[in-house]
Structure 1
Amino acid sequence: MADEPTPTADLIRAQLRRMRATAHLSQEEYGRRANYSASMVSAVELGQRPLDEVYLSRADMVFGTGDLFVSLLKLAARDGEPTWFRPWLEAERAAKQLRCFEPMLIPGLLQTEDYARAVIRGDVTLTEDEVEALVAARLARQAILDQEHPPQVTTVLDESALRRFSEEHATVMAGQLSHLIQFAKRPNVSVHVIPIKVGLHVGLEGSFVLARSDDGGWVGFMDNQLGGTVVDRIEDVETLLARWESVRNVALPTWQSIELIEEVMRSWTT
């Protein structure tokens, strides 16, 4: 049996230890330079504390490694994604245009950390470490929205997605909707809401995402209870494109959608 690959996070910790030793720095001395306690340095190197971008950016500063460790952290976040999802991730990262439809939840690319954590914790079979790994991976995907030439993202969601959580998650929902409004005002992001009064529509059969590549070709992705499916057959992609036109046609324009999101957000804060 082949050995399991070493998780990227473990490789990062090993490299931190090696570079500190090569620089002849004790944990205490390194901690002074990076503005951390020796106990924190030890906990990170032993895997007792999670890696984060702030810690690794300071490591890059101390060792003069540019953004090496911060970049490696992004690779580590991918370890949290299930293998069946990785083909879609490649399409998503290369996309020039994304069309996201979601009838139940806020799309992953537009989720806050707290909202993502609450959603992922809905799977009670996951350990807390697995939850945090998936949260980190989901947030890492959002980096495509902040790159120099981000994709054009058009999102359609059902109004019920704005109201789905219980009262115990009111603060999470208020923060999520505020975040959604901020993104809806970006030039490369459009958010459209299908109001509840529309009633039945074809999108209620399930969520999907479409990605358009540089060459103009489209590929789709659909979630299901056992994972997800990449859709690349021409006939199937054409079906999803037709479904997209249907849900987009019954959704509100951006300015009315923002007004509706603001109205719902106020209900989560009162």
Structure 2
Amino acid sequence: MEGEPTAELIRAQLRRLRLRAELSQEEFGKLVHFSGSQVSAVELGQRPLDRFFLRRADEVLGTGGLLMSLLKLAERDGQPSWLRPWLEAERQAQQMRCYQPTIVPGLLQTENYARAVIRSDNTISGDEVEKRLAVRMDRQTLLCQADPPVYVAVVEETVLRRADESFQALMAEQVTRLVECADRPHISIHIIPSDIPMHVGLVGPFALARGGDGGWVGHLETQLGGEVVDRDEDVAILLARWESVRSQALSQRQSVELMKEVMTSWS
């Protein structure tokens, strides 16, 4: 991300705003709890952009959150090319549908659960884990905006019960979040009971988003990334499969009762 144009813009804006406030790097550093040399390293691109640093900088410089907003754009710019079209589809969506047979959908994950999922890939560094986590948490804000999309998720019961003793507290927090989300008028969560036999959804996870023009696009996740699906024939297949997995799931009320029962069984 550090070489992206948006990241360069952040550094330029930081320096401009600091100079306009008539603060030296040392003076500014004291206000944001960094040393003058660290401020210099950030402005010169020798130090990674830091969320805590930029949040404090926004507060000290009275930017109205400008630097953090630019950082979110930079993080999106730094995402893999295959993911960017789907992120745009999410931002434009009026309706969203998601089926997950193995994990809690990303837009509904708690920070602790999301970190555990991302950390399960032992090929990425701790810094990269935190960067990916920040992007995932930022994506969730679309469900909290003034005019959020209607979001419907179908999840397998086995996803909720995948926890040993060391993982139960994290999962209890996560399932509590799901119950809270299901109470929002624009979010529906439906559980497919574990006693349902083989069905077409088990082939793999997928998501669908419907934009303001009424058209649908899909997204398929793989071990190597993901793929945006926009051909009419392929989208039609995903919509048909959505109807199939949705028909296997419990009602919203029954699903919430099942989620609460899972939490009770742990205690």
TM-score, normalising length: structure 2: 0.88
Counterpart of 2:149 in structure 1 is: 151
- Aligned partner of 1:252 among 246, 250, 253: 250
- Aligned partner of 1:170 among 148, 168, 171: 168
- Aligned partner of 1:85 among 63, 77, 83: 83
8 Å contact from structure 1 (residues 80, 137) kept in 2: no
Counterpart of 2:192 in structure 1 is: 194
Secondary structure of 2:82's aligned partner: helix
> 1:197 Cα deviation (Å)?
1.3
1:1-150 maps to which residues of 2 (within 5 A)? 5-6=3-4, 8-9=6-7, 11-27=9-25, 29-30=27-28, 36-39=32-35, 43=38, 46=41, 51-52=50-51, 56-150=54-148
Secondary structure of 1:125's aligned partner: coil
When residues 189 and 42 of structure 1 are mapped into structure 2, their CA distance, relative to the original with a 3 A threshold, is: farther
8 Å contact from structure 2 (residues 175, 259) kept in 1: yes
8 Å contact from structure 1 (residues 9, 51) kept in 2: no
Between 1:223-232 and 1:148-157, the stretch displaced more is: 223-232
Quick one: which amino acid aligns to residue 140 of structure 2?
Q
**In structure 2, what is the Cα distance between the partners aligned to 1:31 and 1:14?**
17
2:234 aligned with 1:233, yes or no?
no
**In structure 2, what is the Cα distance between the partners aligned to 1:148 and 1:209?**
23
Secondary structure of 1:196's aligned partner: coil
Secondary structure of 2:209's aligned partner: strand
Counterpart of 1:221 in structure 2 is: 219
**In structure 1, what is the Cα distance between the partners aligned to 2:7 and 2:164?**
35
Identity %: 56
Secondary structure of 1:216's aligned partner: coil
Secondary structure of 1:209's aligned partner: strand
Quick one: which amino acid aligns to residue 249 of structure 1?
S
When residues 173 and 8 of structure 1 are mapped into structure 2, their CA distance, relative to the original with a 3 A threshold, is: farther
When residues 229 and 11 of structure 1 are mapped into structure 2, their CA distance, relative to the original with a 3 A threshold, is: same
8 Å contact from structure 1 (residues 181, 261) kept in 2: yes
Between 1:258-267 and 1:131-140, the stretch displaced more is: 258-267
Q: Which runs of 5+ in 1 are unaligned?
A: none
> 1:202 Cα deviation (Å)?
1.4
> 1:263 Cα deviation (Å)?
1.6
Between 1:14-23 and 1:146-155, the stretch displaced more is: 14-23
When residues 103 and 37 of structure 1 are mapped into structure 2, their CA distance, relative to the original with a 3 A threshold, is: same
**In structure 2, what is the Cα distance between the partners aligned to 1:183 and 1:60?**
30
Counterpart of 1:182 in structure 2 is: 180
TM-score, normalising length: structure 1: 0.87
Quick one: which amino acid aligns to residue 223 of structure 2?
Q
8 Å contact from structure 2 (residues 4, 78) kept in 1: no
**In structure 1, what is the Cα distance between the partners aligned to 2:256 and 2:25?**
50
**In structure 2, what is the Cα distance between the partners aligned to 1:187 and 1:136?**
26
Aligned length: 262
Secondary structure of 2:148's aligned partner: coil
**In structure 1, what is the Cα distance between the partners aligned to 2:179 and 2:5?**
36
Quick one: which amino acid aligns to residue 65 of structure 1?
T
